[in-house]
């Protein structure tokens, strides 16, 4: 019976955990050389092939642990805190403020049935534009922090978020489309943060869950016929309450990620010593 190549299995797992890295081939090659060299030494010391492979893999460390160490250490100029990533932490907090201010305005001043609705509508449009712009920049910071913001998926995420921002600014009343695009765009940075074990877990979850919860709330309240009906026959207050829920939840997510981005000082040169 053919022997199982445990090292190949391990390297496959490691590659999977490091798949976002632009330098993944180099990292896996280096681990491959280490493990094969160590296994040859272990065999020379008397272990059989399988035992030697198990021994060196055990010494190298769990693939997820090693991938996490790589994810939070610089390599090839990426995946480390920089002045830019720290600045995006501040931008995230500004964005959080914009979303959180929007929430009470859309609900408590929901006098859209009056003839004087335009100033309020445009106030909300500007606030949401500011919030979404800051959100897009925050995504760029999170992507830069976890492996780079210049690969195809990262550019796609930032582009989608920018499109959502534009949509919210131009057709604010159709906010569901805009926040939907922001949520789709959030998936890439959030998945990378999860792989790196970085940023508070609650903030990561809220970043992708906030707007779906908001949209479901709006649909549920609409079905329950909450509030008055506007000239289009819509229960507009139901939609606005859903929007406010999303603003609060997403604002909290941005506070969590913003505080995390700000908490990391940019890597110094020469680097500070750390394992």
Partner 1 sequence: MKGQALKGHLDLLVLSVLAQGPCHGYGVIEQLRARSGDAFDLPEGTVYPALHRLEQAGLLESEWSEDSGRRRRTYRLSESGRGALVTERSAWEEFSDAVSAVLSGVPWPRPT
Site for partner 1, rule CB under 8 A? 26-27, 29-34, 36-38, 59-62, 65-66, 69-70, 72-77, 80, 267-271, 273-275
CA distance 252 to 131: 12
Structure tokens at 238: 């139901």
Least distance CB 205 / partner 1 (angstroms) = 27
Least distance CB 126 / partner 1 (angstroms) = 41
Least distance CB 248 / partner 1 (angstroms) = 38
Helix (H, G, I), strand (E, B) or coil at 210: helix
Residue 230 CA: distances (Å) to CA of 103, 110, 125, 227, 235? 20, 12, 19, 10, 7
Kindly tell me which of 72 and 126 has the beta carbon lying closer to partner 1.
72
Name, in order, each residue with C-beta under 8 angstroms of 203's C-beta and a sequence gap of 6 or more: 252, 253, 254, 255, 256, 257, 260
Kindly tell me which of 233 and 270 has the beta carbon lying closer to partner 1.
270
Kindly tell me which of 32 and 151 has the beta carbon lying closer to partner 1.
32
CA distance 190 to 79: 14
Least distance CB 79 / partner 1 (angstroms) = 9
Kindly tell me which of 23 and 222 has the beta carbon lying closer to partner 1.
23
């Amino acid at each position: 019976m053919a022997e199982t190549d445990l090292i190949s299995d391990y390297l496959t797992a490691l590659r999977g955990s490091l798949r976002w890295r632009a330098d993944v081939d180099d990292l896996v090659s280096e681990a491959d050389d280490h493990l094969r060299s160590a296994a040859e030494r272990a065999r020379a010391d008397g272990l059989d092939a399988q035992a030697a492979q198990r021994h060196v893999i055990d010494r190298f460390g769990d693939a997820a642990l090693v991938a996490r160490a790589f994810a939070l250490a610089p390599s090839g100029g990426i995946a480390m805190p920089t002045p830019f990533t720290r600045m995006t932490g501040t931008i995230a907090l500004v964005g959080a403020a914009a979303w959180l201010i929007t929430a009470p305005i859309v609900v408590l001043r929901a006098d859209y049935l009056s003839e004087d609705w335009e100033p309020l509508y445009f106030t909300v449009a500007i606030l949401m534009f500011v919030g979404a712009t800051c959100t897009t920049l925050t995504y760029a910071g999170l992507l830069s922090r976890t492996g780079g913001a210049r690969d195809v998926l990262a550019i796609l995420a930032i582009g989608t978020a920018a499109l959502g921002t534009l949509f919210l600014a131009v057709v604010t009343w159709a906010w569901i489309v805009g926040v939907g695009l922001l949520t789709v765009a959030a998936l890439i940075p959030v998945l990378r943060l999860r792989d790196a074990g970085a940023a508070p877990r609650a903030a990561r979850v809220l970043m992708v869950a906030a707007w779906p919860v908001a949209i479901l709330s709006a649909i549920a309240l609409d079905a329950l016929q909450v509030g008055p009906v506007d000239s289009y026959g819509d229960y507009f207050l139901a939609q606005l309450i859903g929007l406010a829920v999303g603003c609060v939840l997403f604002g909290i997510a941005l506070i969590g990620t913003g505080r995390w981005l700000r908490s990391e000082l940019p890597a110094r040169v020469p680097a500070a010593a750390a394992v």
